[in-house]
Amino acid sequence: MGQQTIVAKGTIFVNGQPVEERAGVYGLDLLRFIASVLGVEYQQALGLGFEAQNIMFALRQHLTPLINLAPAAERPSTTP
């Protein structure tokens, strides 16, 4: 029989090879940081994906009124 490779869910690969560590920013940490700096409260969740979703929802609610108050020239484009 062939050799079976077990890959951990969080394994990071570079050029097809697993690496021990990599420099970068974890997206959920960034979302938590932005919410904290802006004083945005969000619903806690058990799953990391649900937590990220809740933070993004709360940030959108917080920022949408600010974006809508901006002059049209300063608003982000909504067309692809």
Within 8 A by CB and 6+ apart from 41, the residues are 35, 58
Task: Tell me whether residue 24 is in a domain.
Answer: no
Which 3 state secondary structure label does DSSP give 17? strand
pLDDT band at residue 50 under the 50/70/90 scheme: very high
Q: Give the chain's domain count.
A: 1
Q: Which run of H or of E encompasses 31?
A: helix 27-38
Domain membership of residue 68 as a residue range: 42-74
Residue 69 lies in a domain: yes
pTM (two decimals) = 0.62
For residue 66, being part of any structural domain is answered with: yes
d(CA 9, CA 59): 28
Q: pLDDT at position 8, please?
A: 64
Whether 8 is covered by a domain: the verdict is: no
Residue 9 lies in a domain: no
The answer to whether position 67 is within a domain reads yes
**What is the distance between the alpha carbons of residues 11 and 74, in angstroms, rounded to a whole number?**
41
pLDDT at 62 over 90: yes
